[in-house]
């Protein structure tokens, strides 16, 4: 009967496999492919060029990130959309007024680029 080891050299077998050179190379390649597709989608919708696609690396994983740090920090709204809301603003004389920010459909940049289902509030969106 075969014996299945849970560890190799003190490391869990899953970690050993994840850190394998070939697995790491494939993760890097897949993250790059997803980032390229995401950038193509984002370029179609750029209005102010603040948001961008970035690839980050952890010890094991790769992360494709929609960053809007240079803009309105609205990456979540860009990906999933938002409902309309009202904000209080001031004019140049200091007078307060209400301003309506319109609703926006999500672009689902990362979901589309990575071939994952589009999710809205815990439900899968069907196109």
| Model pTM score | 0.75
123 part of a folded domain: no
105 part of a folded domain: yes
Contact 62, 50 (CB under 8 A): no
Name the domain count of the chain: 1
Contact 89, 21 (CB under 8 A): no
127 part of a folded domain: no
Eight-class DSSP state of 122: T
What distances in angstroms separate CA 38 from CA 2, 3, 7, 64, 71, one per listed residue?
A: 44, 44, 37, 9, 18
* Domain coverage including residue 17: 7-116
From first to last of its 127 residues, what are the pLDDT tens digits of the chain? 888 888 888 889 889 999 999 999 999 999 999 999 999 999 998 766 788 999 999 999 999 999 988 777 888 888 998 899 999 999 999 999 999 989 989 899 999 999 988 776 555 555 5
1 part of a folded domain: no
51 part of a folded domain: yes
25 part of a folded domain: yes
- How many Cα neighbours within 13 Å face the side chain of 83? 4
């Amino acid at each position: 009967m075969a014996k299945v080891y849970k560890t190799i050299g003190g490391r869990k077998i899953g970690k050993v496999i994840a850190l394998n050179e070939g697995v790491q190379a494939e993760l890097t390649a897949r993250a790059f492919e997803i980032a390229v597709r995401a950038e193509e989608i984002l370029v179609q919708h750029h209005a102010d060029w603040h948001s961008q696609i970035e690839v980050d690396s952890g010890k094991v994983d790769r992360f494709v990130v929609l960053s809007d740090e240079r803009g309105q920090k609205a990456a979540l709204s860009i990906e999933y959309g938002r409902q309309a809301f009202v904000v209080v603003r001031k004019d140049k004389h200091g007078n307060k007024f209400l301003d309506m920010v319109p609703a926006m459909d999500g672009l689902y940049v990362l979901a589309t680029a990575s071939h994952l289902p589009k999710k809205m509030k815990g439900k899968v969106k069907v196109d």
